[in-house]
Amino acid sequence: MNRKFGTNGPLVSSIGLGCMSLSGAYGVADDQESIKVIERALELGHNFLDTADYYRTGHNEELIGKAIKGKRDKAFLSVKTGQMFAPAANKGFGFGPVNAHPDYLKNAILYSLQRLKTDYIDLYTPGRVDPNVPIEDTVGALADMVDKGVIRYIGLSEASASTIRKAATVAPITALQIEYSLWSREIEAEVLPVTRELGIGIVAYSPLSRGFLTGDIKSPEDLKDNRPNMPRFQGENFYKNLELVEQIKILAAQKGCTPTQLALAWVLAQGEHIIAIPGTKRIHKLEENIAAEQVQLTQEDLQSIEAIMPAGIAAGTRYPEFLMKALNG
């Protein structure tokens, strides 16, 4: 199932593939299995592949480059940049300073093109808004890349409503990548209305709240990655959120789908300009995610979900406080 991606954008799959986990973000990943996951997504017609040049310092892009060899026309490549990475930075989360200076962007894209083995990127997005660079300068540099044919569309990520408006005065903005899920609904107040007004697509990352909404996580001990450092996975927050997931399981069973599919269907139901990019390292989970397209939520379903999952219900913020500061730029 495809959706029109913003006013000036193409048709893309309503459920894409977030590729971060294929480079070890959530535990060890096998490269050959990861390539098979990407190939299966394309085989099923799900062309939106989301990556970043800072996912394991280029490894993720190289992986995708191998997977799309000979079938570049089947893939819509969404690439983020401008987030410096150092393994020890920010208490082990790895994400360091943001850099969206025009010179940095124009250099970074050359390396992305090499790693992806392509001569153009469909959607190019600064991973965060750089507080030290006027957004007009950043978008101006991206517009130059569009003119040169090395990128086709311009994206923003984790930007505020006012920043989006400023950016749109410089060049058409095709997409905003931002966290959006049953547990992360902050964008509904200002950002979502602005994207509708300006004809900008939403790329919803972490639509399953880092896997919590799948119902597969039973204990913090199940997690062998950095999620236990996230507030929603810590202490009492974890068990409060686990109780919410149990309620989602009941609704999903009544609907005849999995909790994963219910959560993804909810995201898609919030607007025709929204796509979701859940990540996975396993083909059967990819297929489960994609099947969420077939789940049609009625008004009664949406009301039932809202009754147990109103905005702000999740215990804990989506990132630790020191990372929250880089959001809503």
Query: What confidence tens digit (pLDDT) does each residue in 14-29 have?
Result: 999 999 999 877 778 8
Distance CA 264, CA 156 (A): 22
Question: Cβ–Cβ contacts within 10 Å for residue 101, how many?
Answer: 17
Question: Cβ–Cβ contacts within 10 Å for residue 231, how many?
Answer: 18
**Class of residue 247 by CB neighbours under 10 A (exposed 0-12, middle 13-18, buried 19+):** middle
Q: Which of 84, 89, 76, 71 is nearest to 5 (CA)?
A: 76
What's the confidence (pLDDT) of residue 197? 97
Under the banding of pLDDT at 50, 70 and 90, the label for residue 318 is: confident
Q: Which of 132, 323, 111, 319 is nearest to 227 (CA)?
A: 319
- How far is Cα of residue 275 from the mean position of the Cα atoms in its chain? 9
Looking up tokens 């004809």 gives 199
Q: Distance of CA 210 to CAs 25, 232, 256, Å?
A: 11, 10, 23
Rg (CA), the chain: 19
Structural tokens at position 166: 């400023």
- DSSP letters spanning 132-153: TS-HHHHHHHHHHHHHHTSEEE
Domain residue limits, the chain: 2-211+266-296
What's the confidence (pLDDT) of residue 57? 85
Distance CA 78, CA 6 (A): 14
What's the confidence (pLDDT) of residue 88? 46
250 or 219: which leads in pLDDT:
250
Positions marked active-site: 55
Out of 70-74, 110-114, 192-196, 222-226, which region has the weakest mean confidence (pLDDT)? 222-226
Under the banding of pLDDT at 50, 70 and 90, the label for residue 329 is: low
Query: Where are the alpha helices (H) located in the chain, listed in sequence order?
Result: 31-43, 59-67, 102-116, 135-148, 161-168, 191-198, 235-255, 259-269, 283-290, 299-308, 321-324
Distance CA 314, CA 244 (A): 8
Interval 181-188 mean pLDDT: 96
DSSP state of 227: G
Q: Distance of CA 237 to CAs 23, 234, 279, 321, Å?
A: 28, 6, 23, 15
What's the confidence (pLDDT) of residue 139? 98
Under the banding of pLDDT at 50, 70 and 90, the label for residue 327 is: confident
Does the pLDDT at position 7 exceed 90? no
196 or 84: which leads in pLDDT:
196
pLDDT digits (tens, 9 = 90+) for 110-153: 999 999 999 999 999 999 999 999 999 999 999 999 999 999 99
What's the confidence (pLDDT) of residue 52? 95
Strands 95-98 and 175-179 come out as unpaired
Does the pLDDT at position 92 exceed 70? no
Out of 154-163, 186-195, 313-322, which region has the weakest mean confidence (pLDDT)? 313-322
Question: What is the rounded average pLDDT for all residues in the chain?
Answer: 92
> Which pTM was predicted?
0.94
Looking up tokens 């790895």 gives 94
What's the confidence (pLDDT) of residue 248? 95
pLDDT digits (tens, 9 = 90+) for 253-296: 999 999 999 999 999 999 999 999 999 999 999 999 999 999 99
Does the pLDDT at position 306 exceed 60? yes
CB 220 within 8 Å of CB 233: yes
CA diameter of the chain: 53
pLDDT digits (tens, 9 = 90+) for 189-217: 999 999 999 999 999 999 999 999 999 99
Under the banding of pLDDT at 50, 70 and 90, the label for residue 229 is: confident
CB 264 within 8 Å of CB 18: no
Does the pLDDT at position 94 exceed 50? yes
Under the banding of pLDDT at 50, 70 and 90, the label for residue 326 is: low
What's the confidence (pLDDT) of residue 5? 86
In CATH, what is the architecture of 2-211+266-296?
A: Alpha-Beta Barrel (3.20)
Q: Distance of CA 223 to CAs 28, 211, 272, Å?
A: 12, 10, 34
Category of 246 on φ-ψ map: left (φ > 0), alpha (ψ -120 to 50) or beta: alpha
Distance CA 116, CA 301 (A): 41
**Class of residue 307 by CB neighbours under 10 A (exposed 0-12, middle 13-18, buried 19+):** exposed
